[in-house]
Amino acid sequence: MAAGGGTAVAKVSSRGFFPRNGNAERIRGYEGKTLKKFIPIAILVIFVWAWPARAQGGIAVTRNVAQVDFPRSVTFQLELADASDVAEVNLVYEVDRSGCLTANTAVPVELNNTQAEWTWEMVRSGNPPPGATLRWAWQITDRQGNVTTTDEQSHTFVDDRFSWQTVSAPNIRLHWYEGDDVGPILLDAAVAGLDQLQNEMGITLDSEVQLFIYGESTDMRDAVLYIQEWAGGVAFSDYNIILIGVPPRIAESWGVPTVRHELAHLVIGQFGRSCVGGSRPTWLDEGLAVYAEGEPSESIQADLASAIENNSFEPVRSLNGAFSAHGTEAGIAYSQSYSVVKFLLETYGQAHMQELILTLAQGTGYDEALEAVYGFNVDGLEQAWRQSLDLPRREIPPTPTAVSAQSIPTIEPFGLPESVPTEPAAAATAAAMAAPPSTTDSGSGICNLTAFPLLLVGLGLVLRRRK
């Protein structure tokens, strides 16, 4: 980012398109200096000018531009010196992320005289987080079928609304902008969280993680499209990036455990990454993350005490899927999940927990994985856990219906974030975030079109009888 926040020059690679060295490009402007403050809805324009530059193969490129309106869109623009022999233009782009596949996206773009333009509307796909690196190149096909490719370019997404500072430790970089002590306090929390994950669960971080600490949860949510309105922190496992809203006044009381919570999501996500469609039940994911926070908070202890006294725990099977979108109900679900995971770790040890996570990553179902590792299914786990709390056995239907943590889409453009609720003190001044576009309800749209052919058939029969 150039001084003043207006124009940055993208790095041009001569190593070919999309080299994969396992390390994301470092964020320009974050390390060693403070970013200049920029207007909230800034448009960052990356200019790479050639006078004239030639793509691999000899076609002259006079302009290659990416206009970034984070987090809403990226507009790619290409201009050629002479397009008389050009038959086709394709934009190829990707965002650096961890995963099983290394596919990029190729988009055919119409050539208008010597110019081509295409906009990636992130309001449709969801956006990568700040700190993620975008890479792109253009592939140009001439009328003889020869394909030439422009040099790869890259840009790291930046939230320019704030002036960021950076502190670091081995495998951790933490960026923040509000409160002099917030960065060092939360960096210490991250280091302590990694130590606990290694010592108590035997799970270690295998690549660098970045944390972006916002001064308010609302500021954090404005950087992520379509996030729950109660979320105070979000972990993007595929990008090794965490965003958290931490007002300085609660940096120690809420920021410290939340950093450890979200960091646990990343570490466990790396350890249990599945390339065959495997997933973990939500109670396991969130229970492990809450356990990694350290000593349970007063609110968790109060939730558990109340549920034990009133025998009001939810069936563990009901916690396989997504938690409630309501903050209070979600908080209780986190507390119960913590208690279940604590029972498994303290009763059977870390080796069994590691085996469970890896078994689930192989695509094994929740019941089958628990039976293979512990000798009981989800319902058997619930009964054993309830017994450890001196609670009576719960009557369980003989043929329970399995609930999956999430449906696995055919194509997932970006990693789904995992969130934790906002602390009430941090949410007191939070404004509700606009909801994503609504989907068609069951009584309108395409659902009713399925009856239309039947109506035509019926009308035809009536007319035929009248004849």
For residue 63, the domain's CATH number is 2.60.40.10
* Burial class of 312 by CB neighbour count within 10 A (0 to 12, 13 to 18, 19+): exposed
Dihedral in degrees, nearest 10, Cα atoms 455, 458, 459, 464? 160
Residue 434 lies in a domain: no
What sign has the CA pseudo-torsion 431, 244, 344, 278?
positive
Stretch 22-44: mean pLDDT, rounded? 36
- What's residue 33's pLDDT? 36
In a domain, 127, yes or no: yes
pLDDT above 90 covers a percentage of the chain that reads 60
Residue, of 99 and 361, whose pLDDT is higher: 361
Domain count, the chain: 2
State the Cα–Cα distance between residues 119 and 96, nearest whole angstrom. 19
Q: Containing domain of residue 231, as a range?
A: 165-400+413-427
Give the pairing of strands 209-214 and 241-245. parallel
Residue 442 counted as domain residue: no
- Residue 104, pLDDT > 80, answer yes
The answer to whether residues 173 and 310 belong to one domain is yes
- The alpha carbon of residue 390 and the mean position of all alpha carbons in its chain are separated, in whole angstroms, by 39
pTM, whole model, 2 decimals? 0.69
The residue ranges of DSSP E strands in 14-54, in sequence order, are 44-54
Do 180 and 94 have their domain in common? no
- How crowded is the C-beta side of 13, counted as CA atoms within 13 Å? 15
Beta strands at 86-95 and 73-80: parallel, antiparallel or unpaired: unpaired
Q: Is residue 438 part of a domain?
A: no
Q: Is the pLDDT of residue 442 over 80?
A: no
CATH number at residue 307: 1.10.390
- Identify whether 25 is part of a domain: yes
Q: Is 122 helix (H, G, I), strand (E, B) or coil?
A: helix
Q: Quick one: 275 and 306 in the same domain?
A: yes
Q: Mean pLDDT for the chain?
A: 79
Q: What is the pLDDT of residue 216?
A: 95
Of the spans 94-98, 213-217, 443-447, which averages the highest pLDDT? 213-217
Same domain? 83 vs 200? no
Note whether residue 439 is domain-resident. no
pLDDT band at 422 (very low <50, low <70, confident <90, very high): low
Please give the single-letter amino acid code of residue 75.
T
Same domain, 127 and 173: no
Q: Same structural domain for residues 264 and 388?
A: yes
Same domain, 144 and 181: no
User: Which H or E run includes 65?
Assistant: strand 60-69
Q: Measured between alpha carbons, how far is 391 from 386 in angstroms, rounded to an integer?
A: 5
**What's the rounded mean pLDDT across residues 140-148?**
94
With a cut of 80, say whether residue 462 has pLDDT above it.
Answer: no
**Whether 117 and 209 share a structural domain:** no
**pLDDT band at 310; cut points 50, 70, 90:** very high
Does 415 have pLDDT greater than 90?
no
Judged by DSSP in three states, 321 sits in coil
Residues 274, 137 share a domain: no
Pairing type for strands 165-169 and 172-176 reads: antiparallel
Q: Are residues 198 and 260 in the same domain?
A: yes
pLDDT at position 174 is: 98
Residues 27 and 174 in one domain: no
**Do 213 and 134 fall within a single domain?**
no
Tell whether 109 is covered by a domain. yes
